Amino acid sequence: MKKHNIKNSLNLYKKAEKIIPGKTQLISRRSSQFAHGINPIYAKESKGGYFVDVDDNRYLDWMNAVSAIILGHSHDHVDNAVKEQIDKGSIHTINSALEIELAELLINEIPSAEMVRYTKGGGDSCTLAVRIARGTTGRDKILFSGYHGWHDWYQSANYLVNPEDGEFPFAGIEPIGVPKVLKGTAIPFIYEDIDNLKELIEIHGDEVAAIMLEPMRSEFPKEGYLEEVKKLAHDNGSLLIFDEVSCGWRMSVGGAQKKIGVTPDMSAFAKAMSNGYPMGAVVGSVEAMEQADRMFVSSSYWSDNIGLSASKATIEYLVENNSEKWFEDYGIELKKDIAKVMDDSDVDVNISGIPSNPIVQFNSENESEVPLMKTLFVQEMAKQGIHMSTVFHPTMSHTLNDIKITSEAIEKSLIVISKAINSSFEDYLEAPILNEPFRRLVK
């Protein structure tokens, strides 16, 4: 398969290396996360389930801004609402009634929502939830499982070790610039290991302000697990916080908590709630959140009218178009077609995960082969005009034909991977091995 010309992308990336520390603003957009030299790095426009890069190549997009796009790129329903609002003012000197309208919508849809505060992104939402939990309980420590952003409170955990393997909780990330005095204030626990959590509660007891976790990612938790976590938190006088920045919206407009049936004290949301416009929220019970009235949490842009109108339009569209059923049906079809292709291949690979978040899972008796297989997969898919990692983030703009295109591309990619396994990966890899910047503590 012939690769696309991405000369302009690579030239821009070289410029970025000199003037932008880290080259990109989001680690997940670094070229090292894909097949460098093969995958595009810069886009100039995007619409529906596709984008066009700066070299005029068109790609089917399964990344969708790391799941922030849920309806499709440049979705008319959301963009028209935003354009209408821009003519009325992107931000006012005084408050906007949109703050109340969106809050009422969130409270109506999310089980844990009785009160609402806004932010502009997932890391902000998690940090605000932690601040409120500490202020409400008068305690300092947070027990967590999952990925919760870049802020100091969370990254301080990298002064500790991951309880599973003794390494940094976030593989490959050093806590450079994070005050060492925060060491021990955010402590990781192993997802679905209830004994590990119990042990930490026994050690830290009434110092624990909250237990915070991503309730799930690609698979549902073991039956009764989240219920037991909630009981442990409340028995200890701690709050339970769900980080639904990534798992919210696709599975259910009310988040994973609505689907699973476990209601936390507070929840952090962002990403897909506004279909690509900057917006986030912390929602929770009156008991958990009303003390925030006395805490200094304040920002000019947390309630700008653009994010508010985008989020309101996105959520209304999801509700009106029965999005939960759409994602379930579409994901089942996507997984079915891909599974058939994989079953016909001699490569040890399968498609797993919930329908709204399918995952390509490579396996090998030789574990060192798995990163090679992943890299070759991403490389070969990019050559066929499909930009993805090994995770699918479908949007409501994707079609059945996109599934057909993807299945056919996967079939061709697996043929190349099979050849590499039976000969040498060096003969087929044209890019450095994928560099995963951090490991999540939740499946």
pLDDT digits (tens, 9 = 90+) for 18-69: 999 999 999 899 999 999 999 999 999 999 999 999 999 999 999 999 999 9
Report which of 404, 398, 305 is spatially closest to residue 73, judged by C-alpha positions.
398
Checking if the pLDDT of 442 tops 70, the result is no
Mean pLDDT within 206-221: 95
pLDDT at residue number 319: 98
Q: Angle formed by the axes of helices 369-383 and 400-422, to 10°?
A: 130
State pLDDT tens for residues 248-307: 899 999 999 999 999 999 999 999 999 999 999 999 999 999 999 999 999 999 999 999
Domain at 76-320, CATH from 3.40.50.740, 3.90.226.10, 3.40.640.10, 3.30.499.10: 3.40.640.10
How far CA 53 is from CA of 33, 92, 108, 355, 377, in Å, comes to 17, 35, 39, 28, 20
Average pLDDT score over the chain: 95
- Is residue 171's pLDDT more than 80? no
* Orientation angle between helical segments 305-320 and 98-109, nearest 10 degrees: 40
Q: What is the pLDDT of residue 39?
A: 98
Are 384 and 39 within 8 A, CB to CB?
no
Q: What is the pLDDT of residue 441?
A: 46
Residue limits of CATH 3.40.640.10 in the chain: 76-320
- Between 2-16, 104-118, 367-381, 426-440, the lowest mean confidence (pLDDT) is in 426-440
> What pLDDT score does 167 carry?
65
How do beta strands 50-53 and 43-47 pair?
Answer: antiparallel
Give the number of other CB atoms < 10 A from CB of residue 177.
7
Q: If you classify domain 7-63+322-427 with CATH, what class do you get?
A: alpha beta
Report percent pLDDT > 90 for the chain: 92
Residue 165 pLDDT:
67
CB 255 within 8 A of CB 248: yes
DSSP of 129-192: HHHHHHHHHT--EEEEES---SSHHHHGGGGS--TTTSS-SSTT---TTS-GGGTTSEEE--TT
Residue 3: its pLDDT value, please? Answer: 83
- Amino acid at site 370: V
pLDDT score of 164: 66
Residue 127's Cα: distance from chain center in Å? 16
Tens digit of each residue's pLDDT (9 = 90 or more) over 332-379: 999 999 999 999 999 999 999 999 999 999 999 999 999 999 999 999
Among residues 293, 294, 291, 302, which one has the least CA distance to residue 133?
291
Start-end of CATH 3.90.1150.10 domains in the chain: 7-63+322-427
What's the pLDDT score for residue 174? Answer: 80
Pairwise CA distance, residues 389 & 394, whole Å: 13
